[in-house]
Amino acid sequence: MDDENNLLHFLDDTPSSHYRKTWDGYSSQNDGDDQSDTSDADPSNARDRLETLLNQPANKFCADCGTPDPKWAALPFGAFICIKCSGTHRSLGVHISKVISVNLDEWTDEEVNCLANSGGNATVNTKYEAFLPENYKKPRQDFATEDRAIFIRYNIYHHYFSLTLSDETILFLFVYMQEKIRASTVCD
């Protein structure tokens, strides 16, 4: 049990620094030859490209819970998400997951490029859920907000399902963290 406690401590103290660096350094990756300078860019072009991405089959459903017709996007992951899941992404902080409205916000070419380069919801889910245990139920649109939040935090922030841990360890960690979160909300 001490090994499992040490592993939990390690995972709790390890934020998704890789993806934070990806987002923070996204514009510095541009070499100047592309059209990432948005000062003279046509915003309608970014909007058209965004609509094309949103109309891809996998992007017509929330990447986290499967709700149809998502109206939000999480960068730098490049996933389209529903309004309920967007709240949890926002709570992670903009340094982890920047949430943008598909309809309400003005999109830059850089933001649309980030979405396009991610490969869409299918690619994002393949990456982040590579080691999701077969017997684990991913959140659905009828799940409680708290259950969605638990899944998103430990999938996106801690990368539990993208790590090469055994199914038993992943389940142990997930159940442990779920109990930990529920216990903290009962005491508040």
* Residue 98: strand, helix, or coil: strand
| pTM: predicted TM-score of the whole model, two decimal places | 0.65
CATH topology classification for 2-16+42-183: Annexin V; domain 1 (1.10.220)
Kindly report, residue by residue over 19-53, the tens digit of the pLDDT.
333 334 433 343 344 434 434 455 568 999 999 99
Instruction: Return left, alpha or beta for 75; rule: phi > 0 is left, psi -120 to 50 is alpha, else beta.
Output: beta
State pLDDT tens for residues 83-112: 999 999 999 888 888 999 999 999 999 999
Closest C-alpha among 143, 33, 148 to residue 92: 148
Q: pLDDT value at position 60?
A: 97
Q: Bridge partners of 72?
A: 81, 101
Integer angstrom CA distances of residue 9 from 3, 37, 60, 96, 133: 10, 42, 37, 20, 22
